[in-house]
Chain A
Amino acid sequence: MIGVRSLEKEYHVGDHVVRALRGVTLDIAGGEFVTVVGPSGSGKSTFMHILGCLDRPTRGQYLLGGRDVSTLPHDELARVRNETIGFVFQGFNLLSRTSALENVELPLLYTRKGAVKAAERRDRARRALAAVGLTDREEHHPNQLSGGQQQRVAIARALVNEPSLLLADEPTGNLDTATSHEVMEVFAKLRAERGITIVVITHERDIAAWGTRTIDFKDGVVVSDQQHQPSMGSHTPVSA
């Protein structure tokens, strides 16, 4: 599914060159639930941005579904983001004064593989909301929803275009523990039901435990990469 080879990323801050990634090589198979951990400045966010086609590596290769996307032009990257990748952010990033349903529809406005009719858009958005258990919140605006509900709307939005890769950047950073685990349970369920590849950045060890594999970043390199059994499966009831 994903293969990165000798991935390097440099930023220029004034006269200084910040080397955010210093050669990362790894593969992620389809259906893996990967959690990425590491301290601030370890390069995990940069890694995520490159995986999400929001940024391009300075050197190295990024193969997504067998295709080298590290050198694609902006418009092509936008297309990849739209069709292949779903994003979930720490701050939810929902449009205010816009209903949950309309928020979920957003990616369908930019679809290029064929016209998506308004009725179909609505229909797909409803199904995505149902998949995250928010059928009764379709017309609610973000400010009428709890944090956990908002993040689930954001997940529905990430799912609506049926991506094969779901990227989440600190999805539980703004949530309390109980709600965090609710959200992680949604991820686990999606992986189990749909076989979506999921990559979650977090700095909380108990959140990282939800994955099947944990990659540890430090100073722009991978310092540990371990397969493990998810500590709490999707079947496990959530405790408060």
Chain B
Amino acid sequence: MNRLRALHPSIDIGFKALTRNRLQTGLTMLGITVGVATVLAMMAVGAGAQRSIEQQVRAAGLNQLTIKAGNWKPKTEDSGGAVAHQGDAEDTMRLPVEELMPVLPDAGDPFAGAADILPIDFHPEDDPMEKHDHPLAWQRLGDLEAGLGAATTLSFADAEAIRQLPGVQYVAGGVHGNARVHYRPDGAPEKRWFTRMHGTDLHLLDIKRTWTLRSGRFFTEEEQDDKAMVLVLGSVVAEKVFGEKVDPVGKELMLWNQNFRVIGVVTSASWVVRPAAGDDEFDAVYMPYTTTHQLLNLTKLNDITVTASSTGEVSDVSKRITELLRQRHNITNEKPDDFTISTQATRAITTGGLPPNVAAAIAGNVKELERVTLEQLAGTLERASGTMRWLLAAVAAVSLLVGGIGIMNITLLSVTERTKEIGLRMAVGARGRDVTRQFLTEAVAISLAGGAVGVVLGLVASYLISSTLRWATVVSPGSVLIAFGVSAAVGVLFGWYPARRAAELDPIDALRHE
């Protein structure tokens, strides 16, 4: 207690000394201020990344399930290695379609029915020397050769049936492929872009909660029913074909030699997922699956995406869908499923390079799955925000060092100026440690004052980072405390030497000092 009381006048005396050298004090504080501000901003970026992970997990949907046509199971020890990747439908569909011939949907199809006679292990486009002058494979061969053949069993009716299940929130059936879009502006050279094509359901936008419409709208129920020739572009396609400044809504695009009207542009609302050429979501075009079916003469779906009303229901919903589809597809007890249900978590595991037996061991334990998903997202974010944080850490280190040297300088100045006072204090009974404490208090007072300004500046910086760079930042009371702690630590660290020097003064010499 006595020490605390003794501290109070020291603080008072310290502040008096600080106001005497206002300019020096201000300049000294500046270094600490910048340092603390960057420390705070650094932590805000880190915490923001952390928070984003949680948001992404929620948004990108632990409540999301995807039912894919065909069966896929991880290879396990006791399965004897019999089951491996059978290749899901989507992979099969990555056909070399660079030389697709434009074709009208109602054009005569000389190869109609070929699916019935062609052996499945033969593909007419397997031969690299083959000149692909035949009509579009999908239309010519129908569902089978489009990868929607033998393994493909999902239908729009399945999707409708799933929609009626309890616990199901949204359902969107999809058919996917690659396509080249052509844009022919008046008098200008044609622009082409090779991209992903998704025939999908109008509910897709409800499922993709990390998406946002940059302009226009998604297609409506009428357009879906009418098999309307409308396209929603991913932002990458919009930029590659129309340029960054042009709003493509209302423009006409050619796809499969058909005219489509652009009605909207989707992009990522999340800073974690940035649209990039070659991705599946934003380097893509979307149309009603009815339109795809009509144009390509298809009836089946590649996959059905389902969201459960809540994350906890994912397992139940998955079970119900399995039962429903087995029943609808007339699968008897001994036969395996002809579809694969995966959740966000299982996808993370199976694409995460885990050995199949490990993946199988983890599968089924939902909590583990969520953890793995979280860690994977964390990894992505860590890399994304890492550079930013290193930069901030460097700035923080340099400015704290400069600020610390400034504090050492001003404290040394103060010690020199008040040598006589130190002598007097010693004469009336101050011990070395009393003198040390007085000057340390002074140094810490400067650094804390600088730190307080730094905290304010750091809050502003964090706000600017999130508003201009679109980085998520979170400033917690804890990080403000840490920032203060850092400034106090700098004060102690750099005030120590001058304070010790003051304490080691000889009282007689100090008293004689002028």
Chain A contacts to B: CB under 8 angstroms: 49, 52, 54-55, 74-75, 78-79, 81-83, 87, 89, 93, 95, 97-98, 102, 105-107, 109-112, 114-118, 157, 161
Tell me whether A93 and B420 are in contact in the complex, defined as CB-CB below 8 angstroms, given that A75-B432, A82-B429 are known contacts: yes
- The reply on B6 being an interface residue by CB < 8 A is yes
Q: Which of A81, A102, A114 sits near B429, CB closer than 8 Å?
A: A81
- Asked if A75 contacts B429 (CB within 8 A), the reply is no
Q: Which residues of A contact B428 (CB under 8 A)?
A: 81-82, 87, 106-107, 110, 157, 161
User: Bound state CA distance, A97 and B1, in angstroms?
Assistant: 26
Which residue of the partner chain A has the closest CB to B10? Answer: A109
What would be 26 A-B contacts, judged by CB atoms less than 8 Å apart? A52-B427, A78-B426, A78-B429, A78-B430, A78-B431, A81-B426, A81-B427, A81-B429, A93-B420, A93-B423, A93-B424, A93-B427, A95-B424, A98-B16, A102-B9, A105-B9, A106-B428, A107-B428, A109-B5, A110-B428, A110-B430, A111-B2, A111-B429, A115-B1, A116-B5, A117-B5
Give how many A-B residue pairs fall within 8 Å (CB-CB): 75
- Shortest beta-carbon distance, A33 to chain B, in Å? 21
Q: In whole Å, how far is A18's beta carbon from the nearest beta carbon of chain B?
A: 14
Across-interface contacts of A117 in B (CB, < 8 A) = 5
Q: How far is the CA of A109 from the CA of B6 in the complex (A)?
A: 5
CB distance from B45 to the nearest CB of A (A): 45
Cβ-defined contact, B507 with A54, below 8 A:
yes
A111-B429, A118-B5 as given contacts; A95 in contact with B421, CB under 8 Å: yes
B424 nearest CB across to chain A (Å): 5
Chain B residues near A93: list those with CB within 8 A. Answer: 420-421, 423-424, 427, 511
Inter-subunit contact B429/A110 (CB<8 Å): yes
Cβ distance A177 to chain B, nearest Cβ, rounded Å: 25
In the assembled complex, the CB of B7 is this many whole angstroms from the nearest CB of chain A, namely 9
Cα(A105)–Cα(B423), bound, Å: 16
In the complex, residue of chain A having the shortest beta-carbon distance to the beta carbon of B426: A78
Q: How far, in Å, is B20 (CB) from chain A's closest CB?
A: 8
Point out the residue from B1, B5, B508 that lies within 8 Å of A55, measured CB to CB. B508
* Complexed CA–CA distance, A139 and B161 (Å): 91
Report how far A89 CA is from B421 CA in the complex, Å: 12
A82 nearest CB neighbor, chain B only: B429
CB <8 Å contact, B432 and A74 = yes
Contact A79–B429 (Cβ < 8 Å): yes
| Contact call B13/A95, Cβ cutoff below 8 A | yes
Chain A residues, Cβ within 8 Å of B430:
78, 109-110
Contact with A along B399-424 (1 / 0, CB 8 A): 00000000000000000000011011
A87 contacts B427, CB within 8 Å? yes
Q: Please judge, given known A-B contacts A52-B427, A82-B428, A110-B428, whether A89 and B5 are in contact too, CB under 8 Å.
A: no
B434 at the interface (CB under 8 A from A): yes
List the B side residues contacting A105 at CB < 8 Å. Answer: 9
Query: How many Å from the CB of B437 to the closest CB on chain A?
Result: 11
Specify which chain A residues have a CB less than 8 angstroms from the CB of B326 in the assembled complex: none
Query: Closest chain B residue to A117 by CB distance?
Result: B5
Q: Which of B16, B420, B426, B432 has the most CB of A within 10 A?
A: B426
How far is A115 from B2 in the complex, measured between Cα atoms in Å? Answer: 5
CB neighbours of B429 from chain A (8 A): 78-79, 81-83, 107, 110-111, 161
Cβ of B227 within 8 Å of any chain A Cβ, yes or no, is: no
Closest Cβ of chain B to A43, distance in Å, is 14
Q: What's the Cα separation between A157 and B429 when bound, in Å?
A: 12
Does A110 contact B511, Cβ atoms closer than 8 Å?
A: no
Cα distance, A93 to B421, chains bound together (Å): 7
- Which of A74, A89, A115, A161 contacts B431, CB < 8 Å? A74
Residue B208 lies at the interface, judged by CB distance under 8 Å to chain A: no
Q: Mark B501-514, 1 if CB is under 8 A from A, else 0.
A: 00000011001000
Cα distance, A107 to B423, chains bound together (Å): 13
In B16-53, the 8 Å CB interface with A consists of 16
Q: A107-B428, A109-B5, A110-B428 are in contact. List 4 more A-B contacts (CB 8 A).
A: A75-B432, A78-B432, A93-B427, A106-B428
Min CB–CB distance B511 → chain A (angstroms): 7
B425 touches A (CB below 8 Å)? yes
Measured CA separation A74–B431 after assembly (Å): 8
Q: Mark B426-464, 1 if CB is under 8 A from A, else 0.
A: 111111101000000000000000000000000000000
A residues in contact with B424, CB < 8 Å: 89, 93, 95, 106
- Hey, which chain B residues are within 8 Å of A79, CB to CB? 429, 431
Whether B431 and A75, one on each chain, are in contact in the complex, defined by CB atoms closer than 8 angstroms, is: yes
Chain B residues positioned under 8 Å from A116 (CB to CB): 2, 5
B431, A54: Cβ atoms closer than 8 Å: no
Give the 5 A-B CB pairs with smallest separation, nearest first: A82-B429, A110-B429, A107-B428, A115-B2, A78-B431
| Residue of B with least CB distance to A95 | B421
Query: In the docked arrangement, what's the CA distance between A98 and B420, Å?
Result: 15
Complex Cα spacing A114 to B427, Å: 19
For A74, the chain B residues whose CB sits under 8 A away are 431-432
Instruction: Return B22 CB to nearest CB of chain A, in Å.
Output: 14
